[in-house]
Structure 1
Amino acid sequence: MDAEQLFKSLCSGDALPELRTNPGPMPTRGHFSAVLEDSLDRLDKGDKELDLHVLHCTEEFVTFYDGYPKSSVHLLAVPRRERVLGLGQLAAVHLPMLQRLAAYVAWLMQSLEAKPGDVGVGWTHGIHSVPSLRQLHVHVFTQDLCSPCLKNAKHFGSFRPPFLVSLDDAIDAVERGLEPERRFGLRTAEEDMKKRSLRCHRCDTDFGRRFAELKKHLATCQASLLPGTAPRLWRVSEAASASDRSEELPPQHVLAAANTDSAGSDDGQNLRAWLMQGGRKRSRDDPAGAEDLVDLI
């Protein structure tokens, strides 16, 4: 099943289960960095102890609740069958899986926006340049970044680009044969992130490296957010639907249509604007010590 077929299958299948209160850290044996690998093995064996930590599961992908959420709702979408350590190990052989993962995350985000857990600041996603957990995983989270587990500048910086890499960018690099290590500057990504000013992602106020001030500000900032990023498959499909062209053009041709001469028409301009906004509406205003080992989960 290709990515487009998977997306359509998910959309026409069972609804995403209701969000629950985050259950906290997943049970693990051994070093904390192996918690995802261990959880996947236990999931395959039918370990019921993991049920509380799973939001949704298919034969190929599973969505866990992040054990140390950095936002009001924070999830991890993880491939079950293909074991790859992280962004730096991605290669051409992983491309079909990545495309299906993008379809899964797109469906997940589309479903989540209709759930009670959406606190009104939109959803986004990404892969950490330098993860603390082995096994590729995609963070899917609300953009408030307000949580008791958001404790330092490194936590905040790791959930902002360029340290947080979108699935679209990861797939693009693999498709073009670019080494992720060089394309995303993985060797220096963590040090570069630590030097970057802490800026509110809602109002762009610059706090330098004063994390305590930033955290207080995040709890009260009322500025509107730009739309969060969802994998391209969802954006294109949504754009086609919004322009009433889903029957005329398959999703892979919608972007091309938006850039043709006909884009000068009202429909074309609306489609182009929708795509530039990510195909989404603006958001509304309005074991002890383990976390010391894991700054970026």
Structure 2
Amino acid sequence: MVGPPLDALRNYATLTNPQSSLSASKLLLSSKNCLAVFDAYPKAKYHFLVLPRYPFPPQSDPDSKKSIANLDSLDDLKSLLLKTSPAAREEILQDMANMASEVEEMIRDEMLKSEGFEWKVDIGFHAIPSMKHVHLHVISDDRISPSLKTKKHHNSFRPDLGFFIPIMEVQRWIENDSNMQERVDALSGAEQLLNTPLTCHKCDEFISNIPKLKTHLEKHFQDERASALRNIARHGRQRSSDEEIF
């Protein structure tokens, strides 16, 4: 199957009026500075992308004299960290984080409606993205999807490898950017992490192939669902510490 064009997200980001230009099957949310879109090939039950619009902020914004970033500086996380001023990258990341938080709340509402319980949502960047224009993944940690087909797919979203970088970690980087170049250099070498042996991101069990991983993850999900529903029946719904919104 052929994937989306490499510049598809860039095209979305530069739309003057995304609400009228994008269908409801593509656009989830939009604000003056950011968009949230459906991932075309989701790697979990819920998978969305948050990206900054360009110009950022829009030139139509009466409080804005000019864009604080250019297209080149918004190519990917590495470009954002190195090619924008500290104030600009902080503003862009914060706006992306704010929209990601909205998306997460929408996901949690849908989880309750569809499954009767909530589970973990991961929010972060790929060290080396597959598409142009910096974007943030908001993805449920079940990793159950027909589009998850390879070891690289799974490893690219494992939160313990370093290829998937949580938004809060990136925000900590910019709070103390004394070794920013070293961190960016590490991003450039992250592709080798995708060759890490296939291991369940939930229990660290080695899995020999993707079909077995899919069966394994489905069992995790059903066990988690049964446990959560029993707990809700006993105590009512309470958000656990690992479900807190950042």
TM over 0.5: yes
Q: Of residues 22, 42, 48 in structure 1, which corresponds to 2:21?
A: 48
1:57 corresponds in structure 2 to 30
1:77 aligns with 2:46: no
Secondary structure, in 3 states, of the residue corresponding to 2:25? helix
Q: Which residue of 2 aligns with 1:144?
A: 142
Matched letter for residue 244 of structure 2 = R
Aligned residue for 1:217?
216
Q: RMSD across aligned C-alpha pairs, in angstroms?
A: 2.9
Residue 114, structure 1, aligned to residue 123, structure 2: no
1:34 aligns with 2:7: yes
- Secondary structure class of the residue paired with 1:174: helix
Q: Which residue of 2 aligns with 1:87?
A: 77
Is residue 87–residue 170 contact of structure 1 (8 Å, CA) maintained in 2? Answer: no
For structure 2, the 5+ residue unaligned runs are 57-70, 226-237
Number of equivalent positions:
202
Counterpart of 2:188? 187
| Mapped contact 2:46–2:107 kept (Cα < 8 A) | no
Q: Distance in 2 between matches of 1:203 and 1:136?
A: 31
Matching residue of 1:203: 203
Structure 2 contact 19–30 (Cα < 8 Å) conserved: no
**Correspondence 1:92-103 to 2 at 5 A:** 92=86, 93-103=88-98
Go from structure 1 to structure 2 and tell me whether the alpha carbon gap of 1:88 and 1:178 turns closer, same or farther (over 3 Å shift).
farther
Q: Cα gap change, 1:43/1:160 in structure 2, threshold over 3 Å: closer, same or farther?
A: farther
- 1:148 and 1:75 map into 2 onto residues whose CA distance is 16
CA contact (8 A) 1:200 1:214 kept: yes
Q: 1:125, 1:166 within 8 Å by CA — same for their partners in 2?
A: yes
Q: Which one-letter code corresponds to 2:217 in the other structure?
A: L
C-alpha contact (below 8 Å) 1:181/1:187 kept by paired residues: no
2:175 is aligned to: 175
Partners of 1:89 and 1:180 within 8 A in 2: no
Q: Does 1:280 align with 2:234?
A: no
Report how far residue 128 of structure 1 moved: 0.4
Deviation, 1:176, is 1.4
Once residues 18 and 41 of structure 2 are traced to their aligned partners in structure 1, the CA distance between those partners, rounded to angstroms, is 25
The TM-score, its normalising length taken from structure 1, stands at 0.60
Deviations 1:203-251 (A, max 9, x none): 33122x63332222112224549xxxxxxxxxxxxxxxx9xxxxxxxxx
How far apart are residue 62 of structure 1 and its match?
1.0
The one-character-per-residue Cα deviations of 1:145-184 (angstroms, maximum 9, x if unpaired) are 1111101000000011221111111111122125656326
Uncovered stretches (5+) of structure 1, i.e. residues with no partner: 1-24, 226-241, 243-273, 282-297
C-alpha deviation, 1:124, in angstroms: 1.7
* Aligned-partner Cα distance in 1 for 2:19–2:189: 40
Whichever residue aligns with residue 150 of structure 1, its letter is L
In structure 2, the CA distance between the partners of 1:192 and 1:124, relative to structure 1 (3 Å rule), is closer
Q: Is the 8 A contact 2:19 2:27 kept in 1?
A: no
1-structure distance, mates of 2:49, 2:153: 16
Q: CA deviation at 1:117?
A: 5.3
Say which SS state the counterpart of residue 187 (structure 2) adopts.
coil
8 A contact 1:113–1:122 mirrored in 2: no
Following the alignment from structure 2 to structure 1, what is the Cα–Cα distance between the partners of residues 34 and 203? 35
Secondary structure of the 1:206 match is: coil
CA separation of 1:70 and 1:172: change in aligned 2, threshold 3 A: same
What's the % identity of the aligned pairs? 24
The CA deviation at 1:57 is: 0.9
